[in-house]
Structure 1
Amino acid sequence: MEFMSATDRVNAAFATLQSELREIRTQDISLMKQLLSINDSIQSLSKKKSDKSRARRMTRKISRKPALAEITDEDQTYSRKDEIKLLTNIKLWKYSQSEESSSGSESEILSD
């Protein structure tokens, strides 16, 4: 069995350590590239969802323009109490149908 000097053992240990550190750095760079790619995908999806939500809110605002007070039947006019009840039911329905009910706040949805 051949004996190595202390200097040779230290140099061999440093060479092994350098090699392992290079492998770790390569893995680190690969993981960073994956993370950046995932982040870009998340940002893109977030922007698309935000744009869709904004378009949906604008559509709701445009479609709600005629006030319920203006909608009357020739034989029947709606009382304020009926109007409030109808608005409440509509808001509850929207809340139950909303895809964003888990991420949006209830007050934000009910304010629509």
Structure 2
Amino acid sequence: MILDALFFLIQAGLTLFFWAILIAAILSLLTGFGILDTRNRFVWALSDFFYRVTEPAMRPVRNRLPNFGNVDLSPLVVMLLVQACMLLVGAIRGYMIRGGLYF
């Protein structure tokens, strides 16, 4: 019962982080193309929030990727890593259930 809650919280956190990365990438594209104006207080606050949430995970990836000009592939890489973590958590839960360690 406690492990169910723990695995649910881990999966929910990873899912929320995945969506935060996706929204941050979309906001970055929309502001880059001039569709959204960052002088608007709401747009700026929203962009700043998602930047602060996702930047600690994307900065190390961005530093290691080669420079592709204006194309930023770090959200894609981090989203793939988050998906891999979600699969790993599911596999660990499955192994614990099959091994009798899950109660």
Shorter-chain-normalised TM-score: which range?
Answer: 0.3 to 0.5
Please report the TM-score for the alignment, with normalisation by the length of structure 1: 0.33
